[in-house]
C-alpha cells in the first residue's frame, strides 16, 4: 500500500482509471449492453464533464482567493446567453469569448458586492443567481425574439468551433480502432474509451482540458498564483507584505466568472446543446462546486470530480430504454463496496455501514428490475454528487480564509 | 547622523477614540528602542502607522533623515522598515519558503517564481543571523518559537534595516524569550535598528537601549534603562502604581466542587490532546493551570464545559457525574465559564447587551419564564451587572460590539458571577484588557473565592497565576507534570516547569 | 424614546428604499436603451395595480411568496441557507394534495390533515439536508440544491405521473390535469365575502385566497417564536455566533437540524396555496416560488413585517407587469431585471448601513462615556 502511494500522481490516476474501466467492462458483460464503455460514452463523459470542470476551476480561482462563489450558476447562465448571442452574430470563437465576458461580468458584480461592500459571499452569490436569469430573459425578449427560430426562451441553432482527431491513434493507422475491433476482453474496452477521447475531439474540449494543467501552473508556480493563494489562506499576511489583496481578489473573482461563462458557452455550443435554452444549466454550476469540494481544491482533483459527475449525464442522455442505467446500478453497488472497504480500513464505522447499506440497495434494485425508469436516469447525477459528498466531505480542507470577510487595515 | 526614525506630532483618531495624540518619537540607528504602555495606550496603532498599514491624520515621519508618507506597507518596506506582528502574519497551509518570499519573489521568465534562487537566499539570510528554519516545511507544522523566527527572517529577507516587533514575547515562555533576545542582540550587532513593543517591564529593562512610554495615546517620556526602575516605569505607564494580583489568607475548604479523574481527550485523528488528567478543585480554592499554549489546557477546559467529548475518564460537578452531560445541564448545575477568546466564544457582538447577559443562563430566572424570554427580568439583571461590575455603557440596549474589550470582558465576568456559580472556569480572564478592568476581574475572583467558589484558572500571565492561585498545576503535552505551591515559585521557575527544562536539570517535580 | 424609535425606523427603511430607487433607475436606463419609455411603462403598471381585481391577484401571488420568505428566513436566522424551499414545497404540495384527494373527513379535520402532511413532507425533506450537514459535514447550499433537482425533475415528475387522476379533471381542458381533486371539505374557502364588506363587488371571477389567513398566522408565529421565546433566542444566538451559543449551552447540531426542519415545515405550506385554490396538484404547478422566497427574505431582512412588504413588492411587479403585454409600453420581462437588481442593491445597501450603524453606535457609546471618570 505504501509503495502505491509513492507512485507519481499520474500513474496512480491511470491505475484508478484502468480499474474503473475493468469494472465497467465486467458489469456490462452481465447485461447485454456496451454503452458503458462505448466510445460514445467516453466522449459523452468528456463533453458533459467539461462544463462541470470549467465551473469547478472557476470556483477554484475564487475560493483560493478567499471568496466563496455560489454565483457560478448565474455566471454560467450569463455565459450561455452571451455565448449564444456572440456565436450567432460573430462566429463560434467570438461566442466563446463573449461567453467568457458575460460570465466575467457576473463575476465583477459578485466581486464588487463581496470585496468592496463586504456582503456575505453566499448572499451575494444567491443574488447573482437571481439576477442572471432575469437579465438573460429580458435580453432574450429583446433580441432572440427578433431572430428566425428564436423566442423568449431559446435561440436559433448556434455554430460550433472545429474538431481534431488525434492522428495515428484514432485516424490514419487508427491503432486504437484496430484494438477495439479485435474484441479482446478489457483491452478493447480501454481502446474503445480512449479512442472515443481522441476522435473528433472538439477544440473547446481540448482548451478546457488544457486549462487544468495551466491552472495548476498558474496557481502554484507563478507569483500571481502565490499571491492569490495567500489571499485565500491569510489575506492579512499578504497585506503586511505590501500586496494589494483587494486587487488579487477582484482579479480572481472575475476570472472565476470568466471560467463559469466559458462553461456556459460550452453548454450552448454544438458539443452539448447547439442552442440557447432557458434553464439549460440545470444546476451544473453547483455541481462544479461539488467537484471543487471533491477535488480538494486542486485542479486535477476537480477534473476527476467533473468526469465522475459528467459520466452519468452522458450515459443517461442516450439511454432511452434505461438499460445502461440499469447496468450502472451494479457499477454503483460495486463502487460502494469499494468505498465500504476504504472506510473500514480508516476505521469509519458509520461510513462503512452506510456504504454497505447503499450498496445492498443498489444491488437489490439491479437484481429485481430489468430496467430503471427514466426519472432515475434524470436524477442519477445529482444522487451521485450527494452520495460522493456524503463519504468524502469530511477529510477535506478548504482554503482557510474562504468565505471570511476581509477589510484592509483591520489586521 | 540622522536618527533612523523620527515621528513628530502623530495623531490618529478612530470613531469615538483618539488612538494617538501628538506622539513624538526619535529612534537612533542601531539601537533597541522599546515602546511601553498598557493595553489601549496606542502602541499598536503607532506601529501600524509607521508600517504604512494605517495613515496618520496628522504629523510627520522621517526615516533615515528623509521625510516619508506611507500609503501602504510597500512604501514602508521600500524605506527599509519591516514588521513582526503580534499575531503572526503567516499562511498555515503554505511553506516557510512561500511565506518568506511573499511580496519579493525572485522571478524567472514568464511570471514563474525562481524557487531555487529563493531558497538559496533564504538559507543565506537564516545562516547569517543564526535563525534556523526548514524552508519546505508547512507553517502549520511549526511551533510558536519557530514561527516567530520565520517572521523575523521574512523581514530580513526583504532587506529591512529597521525591525518593528509588536509584543514579541507575549506568546513565548521565559526560555524562548532568552533565545529571542539573543537573536535581537545579534541583529543589532549586524547594524539593525529594533523597535520593540512590550509591557513586561523586566523584559524591557533587560533588552532596551532606550525606552519611550505611551499613555492614553500620548508619548509621556523617553528614558534610559539605567536611569529608571520597574516601578518608575509602571508609574509612567498608568499614572499610578501598577496593581498586582495577590490573594489573602487561604479559604480552601475540604468540599470537592469539581473532580476530574483520568480524563483523556483525543481529536478526530485519534491524537491524544489531554492525557489522563486528574484534578480536584475544592470550594474556596483557586487552582491555576500553567502551560505553554497548545499543551492541552484549552481542550481540558472544553471537556469540563462540555463542548468537547472525553475519550475516557470522569468529570463530577458537586457530586453529579456530568461526563456525558450536555453543556446546558452543566451550566444549570452552576458552572460559570469565561472563555479564552471572548469575541469567539463569549459574545454575540451584534446583539444588545441584555441578550449577551443572558447567554449561558437563558433557561433560568431572571432571563426566562417557562418557554418565554423574560425581557424585563433580563434587562434588570443586566443593569445590575452594569452597576456592580462597572461596565461602561450608555444603556443595556447597545450592541456588544460598541463596547471596548475591557468592558466586554467585565460583562462576561459579571454575567457568570451574578448567576451564582459554584464552579468557575476562567480561561485567560484578563487577556488584552486595560489595567482597570484587570483589577476588577481579579477582585471578582477573590471575592467569590472568599464566598466558597471553586475556581479553575488558566492563564498565560504567570504573575496573575501565581498571585491568585492556591495551587498551580503544570501541563505539558496534555499531561499534568507538576503540582506546585505558588508561594514556592517565581515566574522564571514556573516557566522552566512549563518548558520541561526544570525536569531535565534534575529538579523534582 | 421617540427620537430613538425614529432613528430605528430610519435605519430599517433607508436601505430598502435606496435599493428600490436604484433598481428603478437601472431599469429605466435599460428601458431607455431598449427604446421604451420607462415612465409610460411604470404608469401603466401602477394604473393596472389600482384595480381591485389586480390587487386580489397581487395578494394571491404574495401569499405563497410570504410563506416561502418566512421559510427561508427561519433558516437564515441560524445562518443556514435553505435554497431547497423550491423542492420542498413542490414535493410537499404534491403529497399533501394526493393524500387530501384520497381521504374524506369533516371539514376542519380534512384541512388540518392536508396541512399537516404538507408540513411533515417539507420538514422531512429539509431536515435531511440538516442531518447531512451535522453528520457528514455537507454544506446545506450544495445539498439542498441537489435535493431540489432530485425532488423536482425526478421524484416529483414520477409521482405526478403515478398519481395523476385518469383523464382531465374538467373534460376538454388540457390545463386541468393533476392529482385526484380534493373534496370541498378539504379546501380553505376564499375571502371574497369578507373583502366585499369593504369594497365593491369582485368581478372577472377573481377570488381572494383564504390561505392569506394562514400566511398571516405563519408570520405571527414566526415573530413570536424567534423574538419572544427561549428557543428563538437559542436560534438567533447560534446564527450570530455558534461557538458562543455552544458555550452557552445551545447544542449546535440539534439546532441546525431543528432549524432546517422548521424551515421545511413552513416551506411545505407554500404550495398549499395553489392546491387550495385549484383543488388538486396540477401537472404543471407554479414553480420558482422557493427561489423568489430567498429574494423576499433577503429584501425583508428576515423581519416578519419586512418579508410581507417584500412579498407585496415582488407580487406587484409580477402581476402588474402583465399589463405591459397589452399596452406595449415595454417588455414585461423588465420586471425580472428589476427584481434581480433590487436584491443585489438591497444586500449591498444593508451591508453599508450596517457598517454605518455600527460606527455610529461605537461613537455614541464612546461619546456617552466621555467625561465619566476613567
Q: How far apart are CA B382 and CA A69, in angstroms?
A: 41
Report in angstroms the alpha-carbon separations of B141 from A220, A229, B150, C85. 20, 19, 12, 43
* pLDDT classification of C334: cutoffs 50, 70, 90: confident
Strands B312-317 and B320-321: antiparallel
User: What are the pLDDT digits (tens) for B230-269?
Assistant: 778 877 877 655 566 665 677 888 899 999 999 999 987 7
> A141 CA to chain C: closest CA distance, Å?
7
The whole-chain average pLDDT of chain A stands at 86
Residue B227 grid cell: 536611569
Is it the case that residue A2 has pLDDT exceeding 70? no
The answer to whether C229 faces chain B, any CB pair under 8 Å, is yes
Q: How far apart are CA A168 and CA A64, in angstroms?
A: 40
Residue B302 within any structural domain of the chain: yes
Angle of the B405-418 helix axis to the B375-388 helix axis, nearest 10: 110
Where in B147-192 does DSSP place strands (E)?
162-166
Place of cell 413585517: C305
Chain B interface, Cβ < 8 Å to C = 15-17, 305, 307, 326-328, 330-332, 337, 339, 344-351, 355, 358-363, 368, 371-373, 392-394, 398-399, 401-403, 436
> Considering only CB atoms, which chain C residues are within 8 Å of A382?
146, 149-150, 154
Among A223, A244, A400, select the one facing B105 at the smallest CB separation. Answer: A223
> What is the DSSP track for B21-65?
EEEEEEE-TT-EEEEE--TTSSHHHHHHHHTTSS--SEEEEEETT
User: What are the pLDDT digits (tens) for C146-164?
Assistant: 999 899 888 887 888 888 7
pLDDT score for C333: 85
Are A230 and B89 in contact (CB < 8 Å)? Answer: no
- First-last CA distance in chain B: 54
User: Are the C-beta atoms of residues B300 and B263 closer than 8 Å to each other?
Assistant: yes
Q: Which domains does chain C have, with CATH numbers?
A: 37-330 (1.10.3470)
Is it the case that residue C1 has pLDDT exceeding 60? no
Clarify whether residues B260 and B233 are in a common domain: no
The H or E element spanning position A30 is: helix A9-30
User: Are the C-beta atoms of residues B62 and B5 closer than 8 Å to each other?
Assistant: yes
Residue B246 within any structural domain of the chain: no
Of A226-230, A369-373, B445-449, minimum mean pLDDT range:
A369-373
Clarify whether residues B183 and B287 are in a common domain: no
> C160 CA to chain A: closest CA distance, Å?
11
pLDDT score for B507: 46
The dihedral over CA atoms of A292, A297, A303, A305, expressed in degrees to the nearest 10, equals -50
> Considering only CB atoms, which chain C residues are within 8 Å of B332?
249
Closest chain B residue to C363 measured between Cα atoms? B16
pLDDT score for C193: 83
pLDDT score for A9: 63
Are B102 and A400 in contact (CB < 8 Å)? Answer: no
Residues 6+ apart with CB under 8 A from B193: B4, B5, B27, B28, B29, B30, B31, B33, B161, B162, B163
> Which of residues B206, B238, B270 is at a domain's end?
B238
C184: DSSP letter:
G
> Considering only CB atoms, which chain C residues are within 8 Å of B363?
230, 249
Among A119, A379, A382, select the one facing C347 at the smallest CB separation. Answer: A119
**Best residue of A55, A115, A142 to probe chain C, by most C CBs closer than 10 Å:** A142
Clarify whether residues B466 and B327 are in a common domain: yes
Q: Average pLDDT of B376-395? A: 90
The H or E element spanning position B148 is: helix B144-157
- The structural domain count of chain B equals 2
pLDDT score for A3: 58
Residues 6+ apart with CB under 8 A from B417: B336, B389, B424, B444, B448
Of A78-87, A184-193, B42-51, C262-271, minimum mean pLDDT range:
A184-193
Is it the case that residue C230 has pLDDT exceeding 90? yes
Are C83 and A126 in contact (CB < 8 Å)? Answer: yes
Among A122, A126, A283, select the one facing C149 at the smallest CB separation. Answer: A283
- First-last CA distance in chain C: 28
User: What are the pLDDT digits (tens) for B127-174?
Assistant: 888 888 899 999 988 888 889 999 999 999 988 999 999 888 877 777
Annotate B196-256 with three-state secondary structure. Answer: EEECCHHHHHHHCCEEEEEECCEEEEEECHHHCCHHHHHHHHHCCCCCCCCCCCCCCCCCE
Residue A204 grid cell: 473547446
pLDDT score for B329: 94
**Residue B80 three-state SS:** coil
* Contacts A–C by Cβ distance under 8 A: 131
Is it the case that residue A39 has pLDDT exceeding 70? no
Which partners does chain B have (≥3 C-beta pairs < 8 Å)? A, C
> A73 CA to chain C: closest CA distance, Å?
11
Residues 6+ apart with CB under 8 A from C92: C117, C118, C119, C121, C122, C125, C267, C268, C269, C270, C271, C272
Residue B387 within any structural domain of the chain: yes
* pLDDT classification of A226: cutoffs 50, 70, 90: very high
User: What are the pLDDT digits (tens) for A108-122?
Assistant: 999 999 999 999 999
> Considering only CB atoms, which chain A residues are within 8 Å of C332?
141
Q: How far apart are CA B74 and CA C256, in angstroms?
A: 44
pLDDT score for C309: 95
Is it the case that residue A52 has pLDDT exceeding 90? yes
Taking the domains of chain A in order of start, what are their residue ranges? 33-165+200-309, 319-397
Are B72 and A244 in contact (CB < 8 Å)? Answer: yes
Residue of A405, B405, A245 whose CA lies nearest to C351: A405
Q: How far apart are CA A258 and CA A58, in angstroms?
A: 7
Clarify whether residues B158 and B65 are in a common domain: yes
User: What are the pLDDT digits (tens) for C61-97?
Assistant: 999 999 999 999 999 999 999 999 999 999 999 999 9
Query: What does chain B come to in residues?
Result: 509
Place of cell 488558566: B458
Clarify whether residues B303 and B203 are in a common domain: no
Clarify whether residues B192 and B124 are in a common domain: yes
Beta bridge partners of B63: B5, B66
Q: How far apart are CA B217 and CA B199, in angstroms?
A: 15
> Considering only CB atoms, which chain C residues are within 8 Å of A128?
344
Strands B372-373 and B368-369: antiparallel
Give the CATH number of the domain where residue B358 resides: 3.40.50.300
Clarify whether residues B234 and B267 are in a common domain: no
Burial A163-174 (b: 16+ CB within 10 A, else e): eeebeebbbeeb
pLDDT score for A315: 73
Clarify whether residues B281 and B222 are in a common domain: no
> Considering only CB atoms, which chain C residues are within 8 Å of A394?
136-137
Question: Can you give the C-alpha Rg of chain C in angstroms?
Answer: 22
Q: How far apart are CA B144 and CA B172, in angstroms?
A: 7
Clarify whether residues B18 and B149 are in a common domain: yes
User: What are the pLDDT digits (tens) for A60-75?
Assistant: 999 999 999 999 999 9
Closest chain B residue to A222 measured between Cα atoms? B112
> Considering only CB atoms, which chain C residues are within 8 Å of B349?
240-241
Report in angstroms the alpha-carbon separations of A310 from A99, A315, A316, A381. 21, 9, 10, 7
Q: Average pLDDT of B429-439? A: 79
The answer to whether C366 faces chain B, any CB pair under 8 Å, is yes
User: What are the pLDDT digits (tens) for C25-65?
Assistant: 988 998 898 888 999 999 999 999 999 999 999 999 999 99
| Alpha helices, H only, A112-202 | 121-142, 175-182, 187-198
Are C147 and A375 in contact (CB < 8 Å)? Answer: no
> Considering only CB atoms, which chain C residues are within 8 Å of A117?
348, 351-352
B346: DSSP letter:
I
Residue B59 grid cell: 504629523
Q: How far apart are CA B196 and CA B217, in angstroms?
A: 17
> B53 CA to chain A: closest CA distance, Å?
6
Clarify whether residues B82 and B182 are in a common domain: yes
The answer to whether C231 faces chain B, any CB pair under 8 Å, is yes
Q: How many CB atoms lie within 10 A of CB A34?
A: 19
C321: DSSP letter:
G
Are A233 and B89 in contact (CB < 8 Å)? Answer: no
> A372 CA to chain C: closest CA distance, Å?
12
Q: Average pLDDT of A154-160? A: 89
**Residue B425 three-state SS:** strand
Closest chain C residue to A143 measured between Cα atoms? C34
Closest chain C residue to A377 measured between Cα atoms? C154
User: Are the C-beta atoms of residues A380 and A332 closer than 8 Å to each other?
Assistant: no
Q: Which domain holds residue B63?
A: 5-238
User: Are the C-beta atoms of residues C66 and C247 closer than 8 Å to each other?
Assistant: no
> Which of residues B180, B209, B238 is at a domain's end?
B238
The answer to whether C223 faces chain B, any CB pair under 8 Å, is no
> Considering only CB atoms, which chain A residues are within 8 Å of B103?
227, 238, 241-243
Are A234 and B103 in contact (CB < 8 Å)? Answer: no
**Residue B71 three-state SS:** coil
Closest chain B residue to A239 measured between Cα atoms? B73
The answer to whether C254 faces chain B, any CB pair under 8 Å, is no
Largest CA distance in chain C: 85
Are C334 and A138 in contact (CB < 8 Å)? Answer: yes
* Contacts B–C by Cβ distance under 8 A: 112
User: Are the C-beta atoms of residues A306 and A290 closer than 8 Å to each other?
Assistant: no
Clarify whether residues B222 and B292 are in a common domain: no
Q: How far apart are CA B481 and CA B472, in angstroms?
A: 11
Residue B354 within any structural domain of the chain: yes
Q: How far apart are CA A321 and CA A340, in angstroms?
A: 31
pLDDT score for C374: 37
> Considering only CB atoms, which chain B residues are within 8 Å of C234?
362
> Considering only CB atoms, which chain B residues are within 8 Å of A233?
91-94
Clarify whether residues B33 and B177 are in a common domain: yes
Are C237 and B359 in contact (CB < 8 Å)? Answer: yes
Q: How far apart are CA A183 and CA C371, in angstroms?
A: 93
Among B327, B373, B399, select the one facing C246 at the smallest CB separation. Answer: B327
Residue B509 within any structural domain of the chain: no
> C335 CA to chain A: closest CA distance, Å?
8
Angle of the C252-270 helix axis to the C107-136 helix axis, nearest 10: 140
Report in angstroms the alpha-carbon separations of B353 from B108, B331, B379. 56, 20, 9
User: Are the C-beta atoms of residues A278 and A154 closer than 8 Å to each other?
Assistant: yes
**Best residue of A65, A225, A242 to probe chain B, by most B CBs closer than 10 Å:** A242
Is it the case that residue C372 has pLDDT exceeding 60? no
Among B48, B51, B102, select the one facing A226 at the smallest CB separation. Answer: B102
The H or E element spanning position A316 is: helix A299-317
**Fold assignment, A33-165+200-309:** ABC transporter involved in vitamin B12 uptake, BtuC (1.10.3470)
> C224 CA to chain B: closest CA distance, Å?
9
Residue B325 within any structural domain of the chain: yes
Closest chain B residue to A231 measured between Cα atoms? B91
- φ and ψ of C57, to 5 deg: -60, -40
Among B372, B392, B399, select the one facing C369 at the smallest CB separation. Answer: B392
pLDDT score for C371: 46
Residues 6+ apart with CB under 8 A from A340: A351, A352, A355, A356, A359
Are A283 and C145 in contact (CB < 8 Å)? Answer: yes
Place of cell 447544542: C251
> Which of residues B191, B210, B238 is at a domain's end?
B238
> C229 CA to chain B: closest CA distance, Å?
4
β-sheet with B256-266: strand ranges across: B272-282, B256-266, B312-317, B320-321
* pLDDT classification of A148: cutoffs 50, 70, 90: confident
User: What are the pLDDT digits (tens) for B184-200?
Assistant: 998 898 889 999 888 77
Closest chain A residue to B51 measured between Cα atoms? A240
Amino acid at each position: 500500500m505504501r509503495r502505491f502511494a509513492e507512485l507519481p500522481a499520474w500513474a496512480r490516476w491511470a491505475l484508478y482509471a484502468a480499474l474503473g474501466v475493468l469494472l465497467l467492462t465486467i458489469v456490462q458483460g452481465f447485461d447485454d449492453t456496451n454503452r458503458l464503455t462505448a466510445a460514445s460514452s467516453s466522449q459523452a463523459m468528456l463533453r458533459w464533464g467539461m462544463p462541470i470542470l470549467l465551473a469547478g476551476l472557476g470556483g477554484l480561482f475564487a475560493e483560493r482567493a478567499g471568496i466563496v462563489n455560489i454565483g457560478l450558476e448565474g455566471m454560467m447562465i450569463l455565459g450561455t446567453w452571451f455565448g449564444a448571442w456572440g456565436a450567432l452574430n460573430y462566429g463560434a470563437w467570438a461566442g466563446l469569448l463573449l461567453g467568457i465576458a458575460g460570465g466575467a461580468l457576473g463575476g465583477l458584480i459578485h466581486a464588487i458586492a463581496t470585496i468592496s461592500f463586504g456582503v456575505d459571499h453566499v448572499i451575494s452569490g444567491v443574488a447573482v443567481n437571481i439576477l442572471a436569469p432575469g437579465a438573460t430573459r429580458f435580453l432574450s425578449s429583446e433580441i432572440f425574439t427578433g431572430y428566425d427560430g428564436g423566442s423568449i426562451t431559446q435561440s436559433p441553432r448556434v455554430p460550433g468551433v472545429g474538431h481534431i482527431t488525434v492522428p495515428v491513434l484514432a485516424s490514419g493507422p487508427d491503432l486504437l480502432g484496430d484494438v477495439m475491433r479485435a474484441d479482446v476482453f478489457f483491452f478493447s474496452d480501454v481502446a474503445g474509451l480512449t479512442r472515443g477521447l481522441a476522435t473528433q475531439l472538439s477544440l473547446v474540449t481540448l482548451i478546457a482540458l488544457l486549462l487544468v494543467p495551466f491552472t495548476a501552473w498558474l496557481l502554484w508556480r507563478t507569483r500571481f498564483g502565490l499571491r492569490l493563494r495567500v489571499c485565500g489562506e491569510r489575506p492579512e499576511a499578504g497585506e503586511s507584505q505590501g500586496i494589494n489583496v483587494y486587487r488579487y481578489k477582484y482579479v480572481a473573482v472575475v476570472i472565476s466568472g470568466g471560467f463559469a461563462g466559458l462553461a456556459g458557452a460550452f453548454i450552448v455550443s454544438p458539443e452539448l446543446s447547439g442552442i440557447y435554452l432557458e434553464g439549460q444549466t440545470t444546476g451544473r454550476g453547483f455541481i462544479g462546486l461539488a467537484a471543487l469540494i471533491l477535488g480538494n481544491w486542486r485542479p486535477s482533483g476537480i477534473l476527476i470530480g467533473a468526469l465522475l459527475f459528467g459520466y452519468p449525464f452522458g450515459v443517461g442522455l442516450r439511454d432511452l430504454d434505461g438499460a445502461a442505467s440499469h447496468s450502472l446500478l451494479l457499477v454503483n453497488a460495486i463502487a460502494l463496496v469499494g468505498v465500504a472497504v476504504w472506510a473500514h480500513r480508516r476505521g469509519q464505522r458509520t461510513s462503512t455501514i452506510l456504504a454497505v447499506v447503499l450498496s445492498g440497495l443498489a444491488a437489490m434494485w439491479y437484481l429485481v428490475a430489468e430496467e430503471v425508469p427514466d426519472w432515475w436516469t434524470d436524477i442519477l447525477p445529482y444522487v451521485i454528487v450527494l452520495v460522493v459528498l456524503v463519504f468524502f466531505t469530511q477529510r477535506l480542507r478548504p482554503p482557510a480564509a474562504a468565505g471570511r470577510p476581509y477589510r484592509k487595515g483591520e489586521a | 547622523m540622522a536618527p533612523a526614525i523620527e515621528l513628530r506630532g502623530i495623531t490618529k483618531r478612530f470613531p469615538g477614540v483618539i488612538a494617538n495624540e501628538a506622539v513624538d518619537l526619535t529612534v537612533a540607528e542601531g539601537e533597541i528602542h522599546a515602546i511601553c504602555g498598557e493595553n489601549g495606550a496606542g502602541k499598536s496603532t503607532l506601529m501600524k502607522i509607521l508600517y504604512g498599514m494605517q495613515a496618520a491624520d496628522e504629523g510627520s515621519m522621517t526615516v533615515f533623515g528623509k521625510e516619508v508618507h506611507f500609503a501602504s506597507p510597500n512604501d514602508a518596506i521600500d524605506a527599509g522598515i519591516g514588521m513582526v506582528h503580534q499575531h503572526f502574519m503567516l499562511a498555515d497551509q503554505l511553506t516557510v519558503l512561500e511565506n518568506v518570499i511573499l511580496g519579493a519573489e525572485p522571478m524567472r521568465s514568464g511570471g514563474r517564481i525562481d524557487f531555487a534562487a529563493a531558497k538559496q537566499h533564504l538559507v543565506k539570510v537564516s545562516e547569517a543571523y543564526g535563525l534556523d528554519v526548514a524552508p519546505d516545511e508547512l507553517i502549520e507544522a511549526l511551533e510558536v518559537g519557530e514561527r516567530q523566527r520565520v517572521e523575523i527572517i521574512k523581514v530580513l529577507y526583504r532587506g529591512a534595516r529597521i525591525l518593528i516587533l509588536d509584543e514579541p514575547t507575549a506568546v513565548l515562555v521565559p526560555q524562548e524569550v532568552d533565545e529571542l533576545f539573543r537573536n535581537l542582540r545579534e541583529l543589532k550587532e549586524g547594524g539593525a535598528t529594533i523597535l520593540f513593543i512590550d509591557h513586561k517591564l523586566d523584559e524591557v529593562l533587560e533588552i532596551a537601549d532606550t525606552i519611550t512610554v505611551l499613555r492614553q495615546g500620548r508619548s509621556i517620556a523617553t528614558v534610559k534603562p539605567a536611569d529608571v526602575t520597574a516601578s518608575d516605569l509602571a508609574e509612567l505607564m498608568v499614572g499610578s502604581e501598577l496593581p498586582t494580583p495577590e490573594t489573602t489568607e487561604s479559604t480552601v475548604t475540604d468540599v470537592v466542587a469539581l473532580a476530574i479523574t483520568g480524563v483523556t481527550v483525543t481529536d478526530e485523528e485519534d491524537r491524544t490532546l489531554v492525557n489522563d488528567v486528574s484534578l480536584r478543585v475544592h470550594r474556596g480554592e483557586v487552582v491555576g493551570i500553567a502551560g505553554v499554549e497548545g499543551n492541552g489546557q484549552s481542550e481540558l477546559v472544553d471537556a469540563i464545559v462540555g463542548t468537547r467529548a472525553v475519550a475516557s475518564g470522569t468529570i463530577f460537578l458537586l457530586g453529579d457525574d456530568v461526563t456525558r452531560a450536555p453543556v446546558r445541564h452543566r451550566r444549570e448545575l452552576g458552572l460559570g465559564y469565561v472563555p479564552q477568546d471572548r469575541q469567539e466564544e463569549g459574545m454575540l457582538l451584534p446583539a444588545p447587551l441584555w441578550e449577551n447577559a443572558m447567554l449561558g443562563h437563558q433557561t433560568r430566572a431572571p432571563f426566562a419564564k417557562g418557554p418565554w424570554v423574560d425581557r424585563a427580568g433580563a434587562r434588570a439583571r443586566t443593569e445590575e451587572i452594569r452597576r456592580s461590575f462597572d461596565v461602561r455603557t450608555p444603556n443595556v440596549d447597545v450592541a456588544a460590539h460598541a463596547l471596548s474589550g475591557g468592558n466586554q470582558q467585565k460583562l462576561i465576568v459579571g454575567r457568570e458571577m451574578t448567576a451564582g456559580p459554584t464552579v468557575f472556569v476562567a480561561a485567560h480572564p484578563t487577556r488584552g484588557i486595560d489595567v482597570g478592568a484587570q483589577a476588577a476581574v481579579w477582585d471578582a475572583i477573590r471575592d467569590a473565592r472568599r464566598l466558597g467558589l471553586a475556581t479553575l484558572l488558566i492563564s498565560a500571565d504567570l504573575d496573575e497565576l501565581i498571585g491568585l492561585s492556591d495551587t498551580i498545576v503544570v501541563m505539558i503535552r496534555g499531561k499534568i507534570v507538576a503540582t506546585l505551591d505558588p508561594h514556592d515559585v517565581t515566574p522564571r521557575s514556573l516557566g522552566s516547569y512549563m518548558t520541561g527544562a526544570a525536569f531535565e536539570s534534575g529538579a523534582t517535580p | 424614546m421617540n427620537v430613538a424609535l425614529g432613528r430605528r425606523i430610519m435605519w430599517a427603511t433607508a436601505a430598502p428604499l435606496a435599493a428600490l430607487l436604484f433598481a428603478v433607475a437601472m431599469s429605466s436606463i435599460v428601458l431607455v436603451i431598449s427604446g421604451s419609455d420607462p415612465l409610460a411603462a411604470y404608469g401603466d403598471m401602477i394604473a393596472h395595480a389600482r384595480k381591485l381585481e389586480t390587487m386580489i391577484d397581487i395578494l394571491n401571488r404574495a401569499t405563497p411568496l410570504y410563506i416561502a420568505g418566512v421559510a427561508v428566513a427561519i433558516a437564515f436566522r441560524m445562518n443556514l441557507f435553505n435554497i431547497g424551499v423550491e423542492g420542498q414545497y413542490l414535493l410537499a404540495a404534491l403529497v399533501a394534495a394526493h393524500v387530501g384527494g384520497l381521504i374524506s373527513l369533516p371539514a376542519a379535520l380534512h384541512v388540518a390533515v392536508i396541512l399537516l402532511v404538507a408540513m411533515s413532507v417539507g420538514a422531512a425533506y429539509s431536515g435531511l439536508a440538516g442531518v447531512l450537514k451535522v453528520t457528514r459535514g455537507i454544506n446545506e447550499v450544495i445539498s439542498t440544491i441537489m435535493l431540489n433537482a432530485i425532488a423536482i425533475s425526478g421524484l416529483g415528475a414520477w409521482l405526478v405521473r403515478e398519481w395523476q387522476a385518469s383523464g382531465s379533471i374538467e373534460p376538454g381542458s388540457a390545463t386541468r390535469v393533476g392529482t385526484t381533486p380534493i373534496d370541498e371539505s378539504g379546501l380553505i374557502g376564499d375571502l371574497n365575502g369578507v373583502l366585499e364588506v369593504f369594497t365593491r363587488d369582485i368581478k372577472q371571477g377573481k377570488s381572494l385566497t383564504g390561505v392569506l389567513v394562514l400566511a398571516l398566522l405563519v408570520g405571527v408565529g414566526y415573530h413570536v417564536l424567534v423574538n419572544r421565546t427561549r428557543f428563538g433566542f437559542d436560534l438567533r444566538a447560534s446564527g450570530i455566533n455558534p461557538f458562543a451559543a455552544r458555550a452557552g449551552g445551545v447544542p449546535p447540531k440539534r439546532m441546525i437540524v431543528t432549524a432546517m426542519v422548521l424551515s421545511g415545515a413552513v416551506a411545505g405550506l407554500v404550495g398549499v396555496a395553489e392546491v387550495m385554490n385549484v383543488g388538486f396538484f396540477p401537472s404543471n404547478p407554479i414553480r420558482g416560488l422557493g427561489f423568489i422566497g430567498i429574494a423576499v427574505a433577503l429584501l425583508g431582512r428576515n423581519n416578519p413585517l419586512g418579508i410581507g412588504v417584500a412579498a407585496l413588492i415582488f407580487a406587484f411587479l409580477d402581476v402588474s407587469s402583465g399589463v405591459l403585454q397589452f399596452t406595449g409600453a415595454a417588455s414585461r420581462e423588465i420586471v425580472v431585471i428589476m427584481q434581480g437588481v433590487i436584491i443585489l442593491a438591497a444586500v449591498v445597501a444593508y451591508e453599508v448601513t450596517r457598517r454605518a450603524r455600527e460606527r455610529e453606535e461605537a461613537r455614541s457609546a464612546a461619546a456617552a462615556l466621555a467625561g465619566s471618570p476613567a
